[in-house]
Amino acid sequence: MPMLGKQISALMKNQLSSHDYLGTLSQSVQSAYDAGTTTVTNAPDAKRGSYDAGMIMEMGTAPIPNLPWYPIKAWAEARGVNNPRGVWLGIRAGGVQPHPFLEATMNRFEFSATMLAAMDIMAVDLTALVFAGDTAIGGVRTCQLPILGMD
């Protein structure tokens, strides 16, 4: 399961990279495995001030009347935008548009292939447990899950 989280993190970083002008958000994607609940959690942990940068990307924002100028100017320069003042005024008046990345990550073919490979491994392990009971068969299983199309 921890390997599954790392593979999904790689996909999420790749998905975020097209909207992340400095790389801060995509590089902040973390994977955590809780062995007690066998839960894998993947999410970015970057902040924009005190706000969750991933939620801003996913959901957008309401108007931000006190929006600072310099982050927008830096974004505009990184993107080659000729009218950063128009962008700045637009965000002040209308907020940031959402750029959903969670569902987009899960809709990728590579995500499906990774999940299918993980399910296959879990099914084999579960089948061995059912037939073997408390007797170990083959020890601990480790593998590298395939991520197709990730260079």
Q: Tell me what the mean pLDDT of segment 31-56 comes to.
A: 90
The model's confidence at residue 142, banded by pLDDT at 50, 70 and 90, is: very low
pTM: 0.72
Cβ within 8 Å of residue 7, ≥6 positions away? 114, 145, 147
111 and 38 in a common domain? yes
50 and 4 in a common domain? yes
Pull the structure tokens for residue 63. 């108007």
103 and 52 in a common domain? yes
Only one residue has tokens 């073919």, namely 109
